[in-house]
Structure 1
Amino acid sequence: MTLRWNDSIKLLGGRFISKSLFLILRLIFLFIQKISWTLSGVSDVVDKNKELEKLGKKPTAQALKLLSFNKFCFLLPASLRDFILQHDEYVDPEYVIQNDHVSLFFFDPHQDVAVFGEGKPGQKMWHTDIGDSFISLSLYRFSQRLIVQKKSVVLMGNTARCGSTLLTQVYECSNKVICCSEPYPFNTLAEMYREKGLCSEVSQMTTNIIRMYCRPLKCMPDVEGYLLKPSGPSFACAAPIHAVYPEITKSFYLYRNMHNVTLSIYKLSFIHPIIRLVYLLAGFSGAAVTALLRSAQFPTDGTNRTISNCHTSGIMLATLATKMYMIMKNEGLDVTGLLFDDILANKELAAKRNEFLVNRRAIKGTVSTLKMKEY
């Protein structure tokens, strides 16, 4: 495994130039938009809700047409700064709950708002068949509008590149399980939990996220369960979910032979700038690598060191994701480790030992939760 400088320059330089031009264009657009909104009387959702609050009226959400987006690296947290948006209308906050083609996208790190992605009517934004393996990438590609709502609100763990996407698609093929693969809000929840512990704010955030992703859908009336798959470094979100919804009796953590994971991560470095930067900087500056990993929300204890080769760098990335499993295990979370290689070796036995059963109960409204039972 070697890194060619022309590949690195093409990836990093190309993304940097593209993002810079996008931000310049967005800045010009926002300047013109601000003048237009001032003249037309349109304000953003925060200002609008302040006006409604003074009048004693119900808060609202702002629907914005998505004109364009540019993301330097999809491993970085999502933000409204990634988009060029045009005001469309104000909608009732219940709109995001009542429509199957609307899904929670992310919590903006720069504003106190929740952002929902809206596709075409009837489109299953959470389903991998629409074009991407992860719900967050699907929402980037297929959202026609973003619905911005003031944030009064707010499990399969994996080591990454370990077959978790394939396993998610297997459950989807049953047409009985709704799978949400690596949504951004789980990253936010995990970060909040690591910083604040199980406080009331984290509990409320957990409740709202689960209500959103595990709500009944008109397009799938006979759902038998929900599979929630956070990204590798965000597995800490399992702790508050277990605490708030103890009916979810078990989580499992999927892992794979580390050498195979490392080879797969190396291939990812050709499309994800953050991973490529980790490989390039690992031999020179442990502090820079730590900063990059922190920006991608990995646990960074012990990462401030130089690494001599790409294979070892890949092992480090895989180990950091696996570390979340050990952290949760040490904190007392009931989580079972599952080796993907064992599933491939005996597919029928693996399917029998990891069968999902439904547990339909009303949890402060209408929420169905997932149980995993081992026979």
Structure 2
Amino acid sequence: MAIRPLDTTKLLLAHATAKGIFIFLRLILCILQTLSWKIFGIQNAIEKNKDPKSKPVAQALKVLTWSKFCFLLPPSLRDFIYVHDEYIDPEYVIQNDHVLLFFLDPHQDVAVFGEGMQGQRLWHSDCDSDITLSLFKNSRRLIVMPMDEFHKVCARLPDPDKPLVIMGNTARCGSTLLTQIFECTNKVVSYSEPLPLNDLAVLYHDKGPCSQVNQLTRSLIRIYSRPLKSMPEPEGYLIKPVGPSLVCAEPIRKLYPNTTVFYLYRNLENVTKSMYKLSYVLPTTRLVYILCRLSGNLVESVFANNGYPTEGANRTVDNDYCCGIFIAAISANVYKKMRADGNDVHGLLYDDLVQRKESGVRAILNASRLPGSLVQSAMTAFTRDSQRNSIVSREAFSKIKPLEYTEDDKLKSNQLLVELGFPTIDEPCRLEGTLEF
């Protein structure tokens, strides 16, 4: 199948043009801001805290506007135009429910929080089904503090005393529905793809078990399980990392042994059809489709840099159907590797869940050590679009033409799957360790 040159040009050019205009405006405003900060004696949080006589502070920045080329790319302070608002006590971020950890910036050695409106639950799907998108859309202020101060704040928080669940997934496999099964209980705080877990996964991958990894693990789990006024007595906590970052579950389980780990996957043909539509929304997904046609070495490098196992990844494909199957299979290798390494992780097949909803929900909650009394409220998740407030909502996807493919495309995909150790498209795919219900 063709690379879709017209669609690709329109998608990439539109996003690149918008980002280019934003960068130009930000450059001008940054020059003016640097001058004004010097005139009025304003310092960033790191410089402010260097003064030994100064009480530790965080810096609140009022967001004027923002722009992101693609939401799959890591967020940065460079994505925002902002002005200094005030210096605040770092404790502010754990005392207010409408403040949520946004991202970590290892280059500036800071932790950045997003602050929404009073009463707003930025982690809830009423804001967006993805936490990063929610924080981009709803953050009125950014609160920036040095990483050492972030760890000090988290050290004053307790460890979670309720069940902790980590849920990995392949892309476009129904993981948002599963997240909202937990959320709809109104008793489980559910975080969908918080990006700081990517930093933990990368650090663990690079350094293995060490004090630095333990410190970051403890701080992240404590900040995500912190006491909330909006949910004073939760029954548990669900954290869904981005697909390849599931490796973060290993250091988490070392510190919190009772953590339950799931991996959700789906019929690979449905995954590739959905991923094709995603490539009309997210530029980096489209670039991956193009890259998979050009160079096996580059493909392998991209997968390696994103934390995926790379066995069998050095190859090219010549059609969009096969490309989606290829990406889904490599993603599932994260789960297979974790199982091979002896990690206790339960597989979940999305197709099982939608066929046997109530028994599936009951089995998942039971494996998570959550009360069976939550089953009926959890079933509400099946009655609504789990991505209703997102750029990938059911309504948005319905406007995108479906993937077209030939029998030859399917034949090539089957050959690829066999080489990667998976059953063919028309055979049932049930990975070892999948939960039965």
1:134 to 106, 130, 137: 130
Q: Which residue of 2 aligns with 1:247?
A: 258
- Which runs of structure 2 are paired with 1:332-347 in the superposition (5 Å)? 332-347=342-357
Mind listing any 5+ residue stretches in structure 2 that lack a counterpart?
152-165, 372-434
Q: Which residue of 2 aligns with 1:265?
A: 275
In structure 2, C-alpha distance between the alignment counterparts of 1:289 and 1:229, rounded to whole Å: 25
In structure 2, C-alpha distance between the alignment counterparts of 1:142 and 1:179, rounded to whole Å: 18
Q: Which residue of 1 aligns with 2:40?
A: 40
Amino acid at match of 1:334: D
Q: Would you say the 8 A contact 2:182–2:188 is kept in 1?
A: yes
Aligned pairs, how many?
Answer: 357
1:149 aligns with 2:160: no
Cα offset for 1:317?
A: 1.4
In structure 1, C-alpha distance between the alignment counterparts of 2:185 and 2:44, rounded to whole Å: 42
- The C-alpha deviation readout for 1:9-65, integer Å capped at 9, x for no partner, is 0111111111122112111111110000000000111111112xx22x432111101
Amino acid at match of 1:169: Q
Q: Which residue of 1 aligns with 2:395?
A: none
- The C-alpha deviation readout for 1:150-209, integer Å capped at 9, x for no partner, is 012561111121111011112211111110000110111111111111111011001010
Q: Would you say the 8 A contact 2:11–2:283 is kept in 1?
A: yes
- The C-alpha deviation readout for 1:91-123, integer Å capped at 9, x for no partner, is 111110111010111101431100001001110
Alpha-carbon spacing, 1:115–1:105, altered in 2? closer, same or farther (3 Å)? same
Q: Could you say what secondary structure the match of 2:126 adopts?
A: helix
In structure 2, C-alpha distance between the alignment counterparts of 1:43 and 1:354, rounded to whole Å: 49
Cα offset for 1:86?
A: 0.9
- Which runs of structure 2 are paired with 1:312-331 in the superposition (5 Å)? 312-331=322-341
1:207 to 195, 213, 218: 218
- The C-alpha deviation readout for 1:64-92, integer Å capped at 9, x for no partner, is 01111111111111111111111101111
In structure 2, C-alpha distance between the alignment counterparts of 1:72 and 1:280, rounded to whole Å: 17
Alpha-carbon spacing, 1:295–1:22, altered in 2? closer, same or farther (3 Å)? farther
Q: Would you say the 8 A contact 2:308–2:333 is kept in 1?
A: no
1:163 aligns with 2:159: no
- The C-alpha deviation readout for 1:257-294, integer Å capped at 9, x for no partner, is 01111111111000111110111222122334345445
Amino acid at match of 2:261: S
Alpha-carbon spacing, 1:147–1:295, altered in 2? closer, same or farther (3 Å)? farther
Alpha-carbon spacing, 1:31–1:296, altered in 2? closer, same or farther (3 Å)? farther
Percent identity among equivalent residues? Answer: 53
Q: Would you say the 8 A contact 1:187–1:297 is kept in 2?
A: no
In structure 2, C-alpha distance between the alignment counterparts of 1:84 and 1:357, rounded to whole Å: 44
Q: Would you say the 8 A contact 1:76–1:295 is kept in 2?
A: no
> Once structures 1 and 2 are overlaid, which stretch shifts more, 175-184 or 343-352?
343-352
Cα offset for 1:4?
A: 2.1
In structure 2, C-alpha distance between the alignment counterparts of 1:92 and 1:272, rounded to whole Å: 37
Q: Which residue of 1 aligns with 2:295?
A: 285
Amino acid at match of 2:369: L
1:197 aligns with 2:225: no
> Once structures 1 and 2 are overlaid, which stretch shifts more, 166-175 or 41-50?
166-175
Q: Would you say the 8 A contact 1:61–1:149 is kept in 2?
A: yes
Q: Would you say the 8 A contact 1:79–1:109 is kept in 2?
A: no
In structure 2, C-alpha distance between the alignment counterparts of 1:158 and 1:117, rounded to whole Å: 26
1:106 aligns with 2:103: yes
In structure 1, C-alpha distance between the alignment counterparts of 2:58 and 2:297, rounded to whole Å: 41
1:173 aligns with 2:184: yes
In structure 2, C-alpha distance between the alignment counterparts of 1:226 and 1:335, rounded to whole Å: 17
In structure 1, C-alpha distance between the alignment counterparts of 2:86 and 2:280, rounded to whole Å: 40
Q: Would you say the 8 A contact 1:160–1:318 is kept in 2?
A: yes
Q: Which residue of 2 aligns with 1:307?
A: 317
In structure 2, C-alpha distance between the alignment counterparts of 1:284 and 1:212, rounded to whole Å: 42
- The C-alpha deviation readout for 1:121-168, integer Å capped at 9, x for no partner, is 1100000012x1111110111010010010125611111211110111
Q: Which residue of 2 aligns with 1:357?
A: 369
Alpha-carbon spacing, 1:38–1:300, altered in 2? closer, same or farther (3 Å)? farther
Q: Could you say what secondary structure the match of 1:35 adopts?
A: helix
In structure 2, C-alpha distance between the alignment counterparts of 1:85 and 1:261, rounded to whole Å: 39
Mind listing any 5+ residue stretches in structure 1 that lack a counterpart?
360-372
In structure 1, C-alpha distance between the alignment counterparts of 2:33 and 2:307, rounded to whole Å: 33
1:225 to 236, 246, 259: 236
Amino acid at match of 2:221: I
In structure 2, C-alpha distance between the alignment counterparts of 1:137 and 1:294, rounded to whole Å: 25
- Which runs of structure 2 are paired with 1:72-91 in the superposition (5 Å)? 72-91=69-88
What is the TM-score with the length of structure 1 in the denominator? Answer: 0.90
> Once structures 1 and 2 are overlaid, which stretch shifts more, 170-179 or 151-160?
151-160
Select the structure that is richer in strand: 1
What is the TM-score with the length of structure 2 in the denominator? Answer: 0.78
Q: Could you say what secondary structure the match of 2:200 adopts?
A: helix
- The C-alpha deviation readout for 1:317-343, integer Å capped at 9, x for no partner, is 112221211222222211011101111
